[in-house]
Structure 1
Amino acid sequence: MPINKIHDSVHAALADVPDGATVMIGGFGTAGLPNELTEALIEQGARDLTIVNNNAGNGDTGLAALLAKKRVRKIICSFPRQADSHHFDGLYRSGQIELELVPQGNLAERIRAAGAGIGGFFTPTGYGTKLAEGKETREINGRMYVLESPIHADYALIKAEAGDRWGNLVYRMTARNFGPVMAMAAKVTVATVHEIVELGAIDPETVVTPGIFVQRLVKIDRVATTAGGFKKAA
């Protein structure tokens, strides 16, 4: 039987996410956010989740909406507080969510380490701060370092530009951000794409995420923004 990782819908692709799962969600700010997958996760109903993301949601949609539903037990991120991160702020201040704050470079490297099979790494970032409390430290060549552990996930939800039925992916500009490393660090990677192409249509030299790291693929419509800032289906 030929390999075909294409699913009919985002809901079908996320139907088996259990309570208590660790879920990575790609994106940097609003660039490359897999909004359709996040919305499907909300509808799917899984609870007590650990979310790994660059921030803690914006406004009232996407990850912020997942937080508002009180479905997240813990979040691992770099920028939990922004001007419009009011849902996280309220949950954290009331003790309803746990936060693991990770400097952005450390976050990316901890995710990459999981995908590369690295058991841990030493970094100078965070040494001498509360972020290093309880962690092993070591002097290397006259400089102090902190031992950081890899971050593994049960699922990674990412957004790409195009892919084929084997799951090979290419991205659009800065929408690439955390997607490639998250795909490597999860047991199940679910990717949305705007275009599904025939095998061989993507030059192997331009493949960013090889299909071996992708288990499920869903095609979604592109959403364009009008001059007034409103979204419309492209």
Structure 2
Amino acid sequence: MSNTPTILLVHGAWHGAWCWDAVRALLEAKGRTVVAIDLPTVHAPNKAQLDLADDAKAVRDAVDAIDGPVVVVAHSYGGVPTTQGLAGAANVAHVVYIAAFALDAGESLLGAVGGVPPTWWMIDGALTTAGNPAEPAESLFFNDLPADVAAANVAKLLSQATKPFSDVVTEVAWKAIPSTYVITERDAIFPLFAQEALSGRAGSTVHRFDTGHSPFLSQPEATAAIIDAAGR
């Protein structure tokens, strides 16, 4: 069993493991073992029927499959199944929340954004997509990337099951597992005051990035450095 934690990367809504590629390469160049998963409510063929519990199970199953300590890194919505799924996980050394929803018991992502879906959530029954002509995904997720790079990443976004956004967290990993929170100060999706409020939970170590919502793409070196230091 290795004493150096394996790093597990958990993406946010509409994204996939692909969003971590640059950070993963940098971490692996440092000799770290890295695992990135695709959440089922974005990638499973039956995703319209899935909910938060399915994503939480995917995160927990990935952790349970790792022999040794783990640092789990969660972005945005990915913080919700990470918080839910890792409660009681003995081998998780640290959680890094990157502009993520570190919710408490009884809270939901929808509740955390005011109880009303943002206007850029394009809800079609059981599935939701991100962005519209008035509020394009490029300017929401990737406002600090070159236009062509932002467009290329938007092309990779998929629909997301709607139900996980209103599902309530019932177990809370950050109450027992040390955590780090990365605040993204130019975030067009996640208001700064909300990130600051969540970052204070569980006595998190807090870092502030002068980036948009996706620092793993716009500042991969800085993101990798924070992750590499966590759980050491």
Normalised by the size of structure 1, how large is the TM-score?
0.32
Between Structure 1 and Structure 2, the one with more helix by share is 2
Larger radius of gyration: 1
Between Structure 1 and Structure 2, the one with more strand by share is 1
